[in-house]
Amino acid sequence: MSERTSDIAGPSYVEPAPVHHNEPNPFESMMARFDKAAEILNLEKGVYEYLQKPVKQVIVSIPIQMDNGEIKVFEGYRVIHDNILGPSKGGIRYAPDVTLDEVKALASWMTWKCAVANIPFGGAKGAVRCDPSKLSKVELEKITRRYTANMFNVFGPESDIPAPDMNTNEQTMAWIMDTYSMHSQRTETAVVTGKPLIIGGSLGRVEATGRGVMISTLEALKKLGLNPSDVTVVVQGFGNVGSISAKLLKAEGCKIIGISDVTGGYYNPKGIEVESAIDYVKQNRTLEGSNFGEKITNEELLELNCDVLVPAAKEDQISADNAGNIKARLIVEGANGPTMSEADEILKEKGIMVIPDILANAGGVTVSYFEWVQNRLGYYWDIDDINKRHDRMMREAFECVYDTANKYKTTMRLGAYIFAIDKVARTLVLRGIYG
């Protein structure tokens, strides 16, 4: 869906994005698991309805003057799914086809992820419908600042804390922090996380998600009675999450036999030199043209003979079509929503342990939480402190989910949803319904 500019005089009009129906998507998969977990928990109907709907949905108009002098109006969203456990937390994405429905689903996803990670945050998500590849840096800054100004009563260190997501980065967060601070007439670093280090970002944030994947994998291997130095690992996706997961797992003794990116898969049963592959991607942007292994497709990569599979690229990679062919004993979801709900039962029947996204990739939001804590303390921890605290919280989250899955005799995926929903629902009941 591309933006369409009207030919009438005055500000350009950005066509609202359509709501996509009838297409399976990761959010529907997430909701299917939410429903199953709610059923197992025998969640009271009123509480179920409460937790299904976001508490706040804000749509703002963002008029800016483009570099060519024309005025163009963009649309921005912020959805707060809940603030039961604390201030809401969630990223902001810039995309030409983003819809309010998508933002709502992503906001609820954040609720469950924060609850699983034992972080005192609720869930939120924000977006601006724009195509950053067609905007200059000045235009992006204007959009970001006007979006923030319009959300001044929504964002806040005690109420709602954004972070980067698709097509937003450290620079975007710096503009949000500065705009919010100008309006509140004091520097408010804790209003947003994922900031550059020099203005209150946290050490360890860049590596955090991959580090969490590594910790989750090691904990799962212990439960399976496997030694890291005896296992082979395949990683799909070689960006932030995939490359760091591969690097850290290799450092723990695992043999990385397959990696991939958008250009395809690379298979080497003798083990891939991950650090060299990271350097190669730094220089060449992708793995294309490299000789790290035999060239295969991403589909073949997922079905390789290995012990651990880490999907760390994008959503909907494991479906009912290929789940039956997966040979790994353990899947650790670095990406959000890489497994469609239709594949859950097949993987369960095959006895494959799946560490779900809301647990496996929660390292990122955990270190975001540390950034917020450090901003509020005005005191910054060193990298050893960050890693120690991160690793402890990830292990505790893993144990909570593992115990819940055992208690309800179910999978780690449903265990994670049950643990999260139960915690949020019990807190809701204790706080009571105002009104």
* Residue with smaller CB distance to ligand NAD, 280 or 419: 280
- Site membership for ligand NAD, residue 172 (CB under 6 A): no
Q: Which of 87, 162, 364, 415 binds ligand NAD (CB under 6 A)?
A: 364
| 236 in contact with ligand NAD (CB under 6 A) | yes
Using CB positions, name the residue nearest to ligand NAD.
239
Task: List the structure tokens of 416.
Answer: 């994670």
Tell me if 348 contacts ligand NAD by CB under 6 A.
Answer: no
Q: Per CB under 6 A, which region of 120-128, 215-223, 308-316, 374-382 contacts ligand NAD? A: 308-316
**Nearest distance in Å: CB 72, ligand NAD:** 27
Nearest in space to 308 (alpha carbons), one of 259, 381, 373, 364:
259
**Residue 122 or 210: which CB sits closer to ligand NAD?**
210
CA distance 159 to 86: 8
Minimum distance from residue 355 beta carbon to ligand NAD (Å)? 13
The yes or no reply on residue 213 touching ligand NAD (CB under 6 A) is no
Determine, following the binding rule CB under 6 A, whether residue 118 of this chain makes contact with ligand NAD: no
Beta carbon nearer to ligand NAD, 172 or 236 = 236
Residue 422 is a binding residue for ligand NAD (CB under 6 A): no
CB atoms within 10 A of CB 430: 8
Q: Which string of x and - marks every residue 317-336 that binds ligand NAD (by CB under 6 A)?
A: -----------------xxx
User: Rounded to whole angstroms, how far apart are CA atoms 410 and 406?
Assistant: 6
Q: Which stretch binds ligand NAD (CB under 6 A): 126-134, 231-239, 271-279, 378-386?
A: 231-239
Query: In angstroms, what is the minimal distance from the CB of 361 to ligand NAD?
Result: 4
Establish if 344 lies at the interface with ligand NAD (CB under 6 A).
no
Which residue in the set 298, 375, 387, 404 belongs to the binding site for ligand NAD (CB under 6 A)?
Answer: 298
Stretch touching ligand NAD by CB under 6 A, among 95-103, 215-223, 259-267, 344-352: 259-267
361 makes contact with ligand NAD (CB under 6 A): yes
Active site residue 125: yes
Identify which range of 10-18, 40-48, 116-124, 310-318 contacts ligand NAD by CB under 6 A.
310-318
Q: For residues 102 and 99, what is the distance between their CA atoms, to the nearest angstrom?
A: 5
Q: Does 245 bind ligand NAD (CB under 6 A)?
A: no
Q: Does 155 interact with ligand NAD (rule: CB under 6 A)?
A: no
Residue nearer to ligand NAD on the CB measure, 303 or 422: 303
**Region binding ligand NAD by CB under 6 A among candidate stretches 34-42, 93-101, 131-139, 254-262:** 254-262
Closest contact distance (angstroms) between CB of 149 and ligand NAD is 27
Does 312 engage in binding with ligand NAD (CB under 6 A)?
A: yes
Q: Site size for ligand NAD, by CB under 6 A? A: 20
Options 72, 113, 125, 142, the catalytic residue? 125
d(CA 370, CA 201): 10
- Decide if residue 261 touches ligand NAD (CB under 6 A): yes
Instruction: Tell me the longest C-alpha to C-alpha distance in the chain.
Output: 69
435, 55 Cβ separation under 8 angstroms: no
Residues near ligand NAD, by CB under 6 A: 209, 236-242, 260-262, 298, 312-314, 334-336, 361, 364
- Which residues form the catalytic set? 125
